């Protein structure tokens, strides 16, 4: 906490640093051990530093958009599918690109082209770690909406022929067997009064 009563929270990984700046809501929260409010409840600014490549700043809405895009995207990778994710306001887009991931950020100011970044798996993991740490930090009282992690219905990317081949062969085999059984001659009933010799002669 600085001399003006502001607070800063920082989350760091090798290639990613997220810093939140703001103020505690003095009226709404109990005081900490040292007699000062301990929860950052009003976000004034945030900064995401992705190594030496980009430094992003924005308002609360932009951070919310990043959270609502990045976490479902990571969730889709953990499930073995890579789905493009776009925030509700279309400010942040995360999509697979090559062996890595494309992070596209659209500025809310006019005439500014979108920032396009290529992240590798390690950088995406670092970003996820920073966002996770922020969301789970007990010093942060911003009440972000955490995207629901519902089970997904996975669609297999394999060729459909492989899926249908086995049942189709099984059905064909059953049909052939049934057809053969229909054309087989029905054995004539044996008269119980006939002797074994008579039957053999016949």
* Alpha-carbon Rg for the chain in angstroms: 33
Residue 44 binds to another protein (criterion: CB under 8 A) = no
Task: Using the rule CB under 8 A, give the single segment among 125-133, 159-167, 183-191, 194-202 that binds another protein.
Answer: 125-133
Q: Which is nearer to another protein, 46 or 73 (CB)?
A: 73
Residue 152 binds to another protein (criterion: CB under 8 A) = yes
Are the beta carbons of 28 and 21 closer than 8 angstroms?
A: no
Rounded Cα distance, 143 and 79, in Å: 27
Helix (H, G, I), strand (E, B) or coil at 162: helix
Paired tokens of 93? 């887009």
Q: Which is nearer to another protein, 62 or 75 (CB)?
A: 75
Kindly state the number of chain residues that form the binding site for another protein, as judged by CB under 8 A. Answer: 30
Task: Using the rule CB under 8 A, give the single segment among 129-137, 161-169, 175-183, 188-196 that binds another protein.
Answer: 129-137
Residues forming a β-bridge with 58: 46
Residue 32 binds to another protein (criterion: CB under 8 A) = no
Rounded Cα distance, 91 and 75, in Å: 20
Residues forming a β-bridge with 54: 50
Residues at the contact surface with another protein, assessed by CB under 8 A: 14, 71, 74-75, 77-80, 99-100, 120-122, 124-126, 128-129, 131-133, 135-136, 149-154, 156
């Amino acid at each position: 906490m600085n001399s003006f009563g502001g607070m800063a929270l920082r989350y760091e990984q090798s290639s990613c640093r997220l810093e939140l700046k703001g103020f505690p809501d003095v009226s709404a929260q109990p005081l900490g051990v040292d007699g000062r409010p301990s929860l950052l409840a009003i976000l004034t600014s945030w900064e995401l530093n992705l190594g030496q490549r980009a430094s992003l700043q924005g308002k609360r809405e932009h951070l919310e958009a990043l959270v609502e895009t990045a976490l479902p995207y990571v969730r889709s990778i953990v499930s073995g599918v890579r789905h493009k994710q776009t925030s509700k306001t279309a400010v942040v887009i995360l999509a697979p690109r090559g062996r890595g991931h494309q992070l596209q950020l659209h500025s809310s100011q006019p005439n500014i082209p979108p920032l396009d970044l290529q992240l590798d798996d390690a950088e995406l993991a670092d970003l996820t770690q920073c966002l996770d740490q922020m969301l789970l930090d007990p010093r942060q009282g911003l009440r972000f909406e955490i995207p629901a992690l519902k089970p997904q219905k996975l669609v297999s990317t394999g060729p459909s022929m492989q899926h249908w081949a086995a049942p189709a062969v099984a059905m064909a085999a059953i049909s052939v067997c049934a057809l053969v059984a229909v054309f087989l001659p029905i054995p004539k009933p044996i008269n119980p009064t006939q002797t074994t010799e008579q039957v053999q002669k016949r």
